[in-house]
Amino acid sequence: MKIISSIEELRDQLRGQLRTAFVPTMGNLHEGHLSLMRLAKKHGDPIVASIFVNRLQFGPNEDFDKYPRTFQADVEKLEKEGVYVLFAPTEKDLYPEPQEYRVRPPDDLGNILEGEFRPGFFTGVSTVVLKLFSCVQPRVAVFGKKDYQQLMIIRNMAKQFALPTEIIAADTWRADDGLALSSRNGYLSEAERAEAPVLYQTLNEVAQEIRSGHLDIFELEKKAMAKLSHRHWKPDYISVRKRSDLQPPSAGDIAQKAELVVVAAAKLGNTRLIDNLEV
């Protein structure tokens, strides 16, 4: 595996490749990330991964400085998966001058749910992903469904900018007890880790109620939020949305069996977890 930090060297290395498959990450790789590499392998060749902790998507009071960085362990994992190039730029490599041009998603998608609680987050994500796509120029790129809203924003961005990159969605990788794998799970104490699967259990309860014909979405959301609060979580949202645009469904949408997703974000101790479940 070649480890490259400069954009110019990366382009030289990939020149002439027409089937590049790309998996962008922020490192601290776990089995969920590695499953993305395996899915990428089915859709293209060579496989390019990136590791870059993107300052633009962190708010002023978020965990940029303490975000886990495990570069050497990450390299060993990627080599085992047969990754051809690891693009690992420094901030100076990727942002040689202040990144004053930004990509801002439309408000009705970028400022709801995660965007409401993390202002500017999706602008930071969209900007770095577009820049990484420009550097790698992949035919396909793989993103996990755990970050459901992010996946939708990137997919729409690629479509609206007519990028020659197909966005592939990968199912969420879960631990045996249902907890969605995340780099931030490492922040959980032993007791918190034992409690953490309750978030996914709660999503399943909401989804089951909907499948059983329960039409009062607001009541389901309120009940789920109350359950987590009672167990000493601090939920930001548990919300039932249409998969097509992440807007709240009408009674007619639900009666007509519209495709829905239950999305959630909640703090357990000092760790903020997100998850979702398609209905």
CA distance 154 to 169: 11
From the list 33, 43, 214, 230, the catalytic residue is 33
Instruction: Reduce the secondary structure of 58-93 to three states and give it as a string.
Output: CCCCCCCCCCCCCHHHHHHHHHHCCCCEEECCCHHH
- Cis-peptide into 249, omega within 30 deg: no
List of residues 6+ apart from 60 with CB closer than 8 A: none
User: Is residue 33 among the annotated active site residues?
Assistant: yes
CA distance 108 to 124: 17
List of residues 6+ apart from 144 with CB closer than 8 A: 32, 36, 151, 169, 170, 171, 172, 173
Identity at 167, one-letter amino acid code: I
Per 3-state DSSP, the chain is made up of helix, strand and coil in percentages (nearest 5) of 45, 20, 40
Structure token digits, residue 122: 């999706």
Q: Give φ, ψ of 251 to 5 degrees.
A: -60, -35
Q: Which residues are known to be catalytic?
A: 33
